[in-house]
Structure 1
Amino acid sequence: MIVWLNGTHGAGKTTTSTLVQRLLPNARVLDAEKVGEVLMDIKPGLPATDNFQHWDPWWPLVVETARRILHYAGGILVMPMTVLVEDYWREISAGLAEHGIPVRHFVLHVDQTALRDRIQNDTDLGPSPFRFAYMQPYAEAARTWLHNEAEVIDTTHITADEAAHRIAESVLNH
C-alpha cells in the first residue's frame, strides 16, 4: 500500500511522513522528489521547466520506483509529494492501480493565512519564494479537484504529530 501525503509546499508533508512511518508497521518513506532530482541531474539537462513534474518521464518513474520498492521490500510506502496538476495525479494513481497497488491519498491542508505565516517564519529554510509561488496553485487545485480526491487533514491548528496519528489511525482502521 501507498500512503500519499499531498498538500502545498510548507504544509508539513515531510515532517508528517516521518511520523506516520513510525506509526505504521513495516512502513518506509519514499520521497518522490528524489525521482525528480535524478531527472534534474541529467547532463546535458532536459528541456527547461520550472518544475520537474512537467517532464513526462517523472510520473512513470515514480510509479515504477514505488512498484519495485514494494515488490522488493513489501509493507507500506509513505510518500510525501505535492501534486497539484490533476492530469499528473491521474497518471500516477492509474499507474499504481494497474499494478494493483492500493493508494490512500491524504491532503495536508493549511489555511492561507497560517501557511503564509509558516513559510515566512520557517527557521530551517527561511522565507521561500518557491513555497509562496505555490500557494495560489494549491488553492485552485484544492477548490477544483484535489480535496475531492483525498482525505483532507486540516493542519492549521494541529501539530504534525496529531496529523500523523490521524493518518495512521485512518489507514489502520480502513
Structure 2
Amino acid sequence: MIVWMNGTHGAGKTTTSPLVQQLIPDSRVFDAEKVGELLMDVSPGLPATDNFQHWLPWRQLVVDSARRLLDYTGGTLVVPMTVLVEQYWREISAGLAEHGIPVRHFVLHADQETLHHRIQHDAVMGPSPFRFKYLAPYAEAARSWLHAEAEVVDTTHLTPAQAARQIVDTLKG
C-alpha cells in the first residue's frame, strides 16, 4: 500500500511523513522528489521547466520506482509529495492502480495565513520565493479537485505528531 501525503509547502508533509512511518509496521518513506533531482542531473539537460513534475518521465518513474520498491520490500510506502496538477495525479494514481497498488491519498491542509507563516519562519530552509509561489496554485487545486480526491487532514492547529496519529487512525478505521 501507499500512503500518499499531498499538500503544499508548509503543510507539514516532510515533518509528518517519518512520524507516520514510525507508526506503521513494515513501512518506509519514499521521497519522490529524489526522482526529480535525478532527472535534473541529466546532461545535457531535459527541456527547460520550472517544475520537474512537468516531465512525463518523472511521473512514470515515480510509479515504477514505487512499484519496484514494494515488490522488493513489501509493506507500505509513505510518500510525501505535492502534486497540484490533476492530470499528473491521475497519471500517477492510474499507474499505481494498474499494478494493483492501493493508495490512500491524504492532503495535509492549513489555511493560507498559517502556510505563509510556516514558510516565512522555516528554521531549516528560511523564507523561499519558490515555496511561496505554490500557495495560490494549491488553493486553486484544493478548491477545484484536490480535496475531493483525498482525505483532508487540517494541520493548521495540529502538531506533526497529532497529524501523523490522525492519518494512522484513519487508516485503521
**Is the pair's TM-score, using the shorter chain for normalization, greater than 0.5?**
yes
Residues in 2 aligned to 1:118 and 1:58: alpha-carbon distance in whole angstroms: 28
- Structure 2 counterpart of 1:74: 74
- Structure 2 counterpart of 1:54: 54
Which contiguous aligned blocks of 4+ residues in structure 1 show a shift greater than 6 angstroms?
A: none
Residues in 2 aligned to 1:65 and 1:172: alpha-carbon distance in whole angstroms: 26
- Structure 2 counterpart of 1:134: 134
2:144 is aligned with 1:155:
no
Residues in 2 aligned to 1:170 and 1:27: alpha-carbon distance in whole angstroms: 16
- Structure 1 counterpart of 2:39: 39
With normalisation by structure 1, the TM-score equals: 0.98
With normalisation by structure 2, the TM-score equals: 0.99
Residues in 2 aligned to 1:143 and 1:33: alpha-carbon distance in whole angstroms: 24
SS of equivalent to 2:89: helix
Residues in 1 aligned to 2:67 and 2:114: alpha-carbon distance in whole angstroms: 36
- Structure 1 counterpart of 2:169: 169
Residues in 2 aligned to 1:126 and 1:162: alpha-carbon distance in whole angstroms: 24
Residues in 2 aligned to 1:50 and 1:9: alpha-carbon distance in whole angstroms: 16
The 5-angstrom pairing of residues 45-124 of structure 1 reads 45-124=45-124
* Count of aligned residue pairs for this structure pair: 173
User: Structure 1, residues 25-69: CA drift from partner, whole Å, max 9, x if none?
Assistant: 100000100110110010010000000000010111000000000
Residues in 1 aligned to 2:28 and 2:123: alpha-carbon distance in whole angstroms: 27
Q: Which runs of 5+ in 2 are unaligned?
A: none
Residues in 1 aligned to 2:159 and 2:67: alpha-carbon distance in whole angstroms: 31
- Structure 1 counterpart of 2:5: 5
Q: 1:172 deviation in Å?
A: 2.3
Residues in 2 aligned to 1:73 and 1:118: alpha-carbon distance in whole angstroms: 35
Q: 1:17 deviation in Å?
A: 0.4
2:12 is aligned with 1:25:
no
Q: 1:83 deviation in Å?
A: 0.0
SS of equivalent to 1:57: helix
SS of equivalent to 2:100: coil
Q: Which runs of 5+ in 1 are unaligned?
A: none
